[in-house]
Amino acid sequence: MTGRTRTGSITEQMDDKTVEMIISKLAPKLTAKIESQFEKLSKHFEQMEAKINSLVDKLTSIEEVAESNKVEIKSMNDRMDKLEQKLKSNTLRIIGLDEEPNENLIAKVSNLLNNVLKVPCTQQDFNNIYRTGKIKNQTKPRTIMISFISHMKRNQIYAAKKLLKGTNMYINEDLTKLQYSLYGIAKNKFGNKNVWSSNGRILARVGTDVKSIEKHMFTIDID
């Protein structure tokens, strides 16, 4: 073995020892630093998790309040619809009665009720009579609204509406926007002849049964 070879071997041994010594000195510091960083990251993730859980709790609370408000609004709307329908309970709509300029509407309606429907009526039976809307089509008369003093008289007129069959005139109840929407949907589903209204309620003949049509049966968008 030459002198150069022995010198190289000694140098390698010294280098290995030096590396081991350096590693043994640095290892505790590196380990401590890694553990410190890991602990910081763990705390950071715990804080983030706590914030996320807090946000989830807040969102859940908001959703619960929103759902509660939704139920309350629905209940309020239903109560308002029933109240509005009650206010309309003495009113009927006459559709198709000819319209003339400067007409005497009370006399014209009285003639229809007394002579066609055969229900005795005087001016004292009416609370109000008027046509709705603006004149847009001279060939199509506007609807007449009749508000009666007596609910009994109103019911007599409504019961006699069948005598208008074949005359192109109709008498309908004055329905709320919601009930009118239900009325249209029910007619499309069950047929015109199988759907009618009675005291503000929509009824439909389904087979041999008569069913009350309610809002929850359909998806309705009321503006």
Question: What confidence tens digit (pLDDT) does each residue in 129-168 have?
Answer: 999 988 776 678 999 999 999 999 999 999 999 999 999 9
Pick from 152, 150, 202: nearest CA to 173: 202
Q: Are 147 and 206 contained in the same domain?
A: no
Q: Are 76 and 99 contained in the same domain?
A: no
- Asked if residues 84 and 176 have their Cβ atoms less than 8 Å apart, the reply is yes
Q: Are 44 and 95 contained in the same domain?
A: no
Res. 114 pLDDT band, cuts 50 70 90: very high
Q: Is the pTM of this model over 0.85?
A: no
Q: Are 59 and 29 contained in the same domain?
A: yes
Q: Are 28 and 75 contained in the same domain?
A: yes
CA dihedral angle for residue 100, residue 101, residue 103, residue 105, rounded to 10 degrees? 70
Predicted confidence (pLDDT) per residue in 203-216, tens digit: 999 888 998 888 77
**Distance set, CA 60 to CA 46, 67, 73, 88, 154 (Å):** 21, 10, 20, 42, 52
Q: What string of DSSP letters covers 12-55?
A: HHHHHHHHHHHHHHHHHHHHHHHHHHHHHHHHHHHHHHHHHHHH
Q: Are 155 and 204 contained in the same domain?
A: no
Does pLDDT of 198 surpass 70?
yes
- Asked if residues 171 and 157 have their Cβ atoms less than 8 Å apart, the reply is yes
Residue 176: count other Cβ atoms within 10 Å of its Cβ: 19
- Give the pLDDT score at 89: 93
* Final residue in a domain of this structure, among 58, 87, 116: 87
Instruction: Give residue 20's domain range.
Output: 1-87
* Final residue in a domain of this structure, among 87, 110, 129: 87
CA distance 35 to 53: 26
30-56 b/e (C-beta count within 10 Å ≥ 16 → b): eeeeeeeeeeeeeeeeeeeeeeeeeee
Q: Are 19 and 30 contained in the same domain?
A: yes
- Please provide the average confidence, as pLDDT, over all residues in the chain: 84
Owner of token pair 């209940």: 75
Listed range (46-55, 104-113, 123-132) with the worst mean pLDDT: 46-55
Listed range (1-15, 113-127, 190-204) with the worst mean pLDDT: 1-15
Q: How many domains does the chain have?
A: 3
Res. 5 pLDDT band, cuts 50 70 90: low
Owner of token pair 């007599």: 156
* Final residue in a domain of this structure, among 87, 105, 133: 87
